Chain A
Amino acid sequence: MLILECPYCGVMADETDLHGGGEAHLKRFGPGSSDDDFETYLFHRKNPKGVHFERWRHVSGCGKWFHAARNTMTLEVYGTYPAQTYEPPKDLVAKIKKKHPEWGGYE
Chain B
Amino acid sequence: MSNAVSALQGASFDGYCKVEEAGLTGMITLRGDLASDGVAKAVKAVTGAAMPGQGEVTEGAKGRVGWMSPDELLLIVDHADAAAIVEAATASLGDEHSLVVNVSDARAVYRVKGAACREVIAKLAPADTSVMQPGMLRRTRIAQIPAAFYLEDDETAVLVCFRSVAQYAFDLLKDAVEPGGEVF
A-B contact pairs, 16 of them (CB 8 A): A8-B54, A9-B54, A9-B55, A9-B69, A9-B139, A10-B55, A11-B127, A11-B138, A13-B126, A13-B140, A60-B141, A60-B147, A61-B139, A61-B140, A62-B70, A63-B69
Indicate the member of B54, B140, B146 with the most A CB atoms within 10 Å: B140
Q: Is the CB–CB distance between B70 and A64 below 8 Å?
A: yes
| Given pairs A60-B147, A62-B70, 17 additional interface contacts (CB within 8 A) | A8-B69, A9-B54, A10-B54, A10-B55, A11-B55, A12-B128, A14-B126, A16-B126, A17-B127, A17-B140, A60-B139, A60-B141, A60-B146, A62-B68, A62-B139, A63-B69, A64-B69
| Secondary structure class of chain B's binding surface, majority of residues | strand
Q: What is the bound-complex CA distance between A16 and B126, given in angstroms?
A: 7
Interface residues of A (CB under 8 A from B): 8-14, 16-17, 60-64
Q: How many residues of B contact A (CB 8 A)?
A: 15
Q: Are B140 and A60 in contact (CB under 8 A)?
A: yes
Give chain B nearest CB distance to A77 CB in angstroms. 16
